[in-house]
């Protein structure tokens, strides 16, 4: 590990990102840098600001609903970025208080120590396919639930279809 490496932990949320840095040397300081808005331009400015002072930077953030846009942007700017599995992030027993500041500092510290498990980051076509499959699955589940509710409603009102299988053309008529 290079002494000049800066490890940056990002706690990403819908509207803001908490930022913490850990110096590359063992036992180096971990500092909370503050929060920035969750916009690609703000992330670019953050990277450029720290790139002026440090030779190499390694970023990490937890996988979540915000996707992989930050990962793609940071890697395009020429820096390492790791997306980590939240369920595999080590926690101390009894450490139940979670704040954005603590989470960002913990990510930076654990990333420097090499204790975070990375997840596979899909490329854009894979991510689009995943979104499509998830949307279809959600639509099918929603349809199944609606059919069950309708069948229950009809059963409560003594409307029982006896002409074959449910949800066929004959059943709909």
Length of the chain measured in residues: 173
Q: Determine the pLDDT at residue 3.
A: 65
Residues of the chain with confidence (pLDDT) below 70: 1-3
Per-residue pLDDT reduced to its tens digit, 43-71: 999 999 988 888 789 999 999 888 899 99
**Of the candidates 37, 3, 4, which has an alpha carbon nearest to the alpha carbon of residue 19?**
37
- Give the global pTM: 0.80
Q: Which domain holds residue 144?
A: 124-172
- 114 CA to centre of own chain: 19
Query: Up-side HSE of residue 2: CA atoms within 13 Å toward CB?
Result: 9
Domain count, the chain: 2
Do residue 21 and residue 85 come from a single domain? yes
Q: How far apart are CA 169 and CA 165, in angstroms?
A: 10
Do residue 69 and residue 108 come from a single domain? yes
Residue 52 lies in a domain: yes
């Amino acid at each position: 590990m290079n002494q000049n490496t800066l490890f940056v932990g990002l706690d990403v949320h819908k509207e803001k990102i908490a930022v913490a840095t850990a110096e590359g040397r063992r036992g180096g300081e971990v500092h909370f840098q503050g929060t920035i808005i969750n916009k690609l331009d703000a992330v670019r400015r953050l990277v450029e600001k720290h790139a002026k002072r440090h030779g190499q930077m390694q970023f990490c953030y937890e996988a979540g609903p915000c996707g992989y846009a930050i990962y793609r942007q940071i890697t395009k700017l020429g820096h390492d970025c790791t997306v980590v599995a939240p369920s595999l992030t080590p926690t101390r027993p009894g450490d139940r208080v979670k704040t954005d500041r603590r989470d960002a500092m913990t990510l930076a510290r654990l990333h420097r120590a090499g204790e975070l498990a990375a997840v596979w980051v899909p490329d854009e076509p894979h991510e689009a396919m995943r979104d499509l499959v998830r949307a279809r699955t959600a639509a099918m589940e929603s349809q199944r639930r609606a059919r069950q509710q309708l069948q229950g409603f009809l059963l409560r009102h003594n409307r029982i279809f006896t002409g074959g299988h449910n949800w066929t053309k004959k059943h709909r008529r």
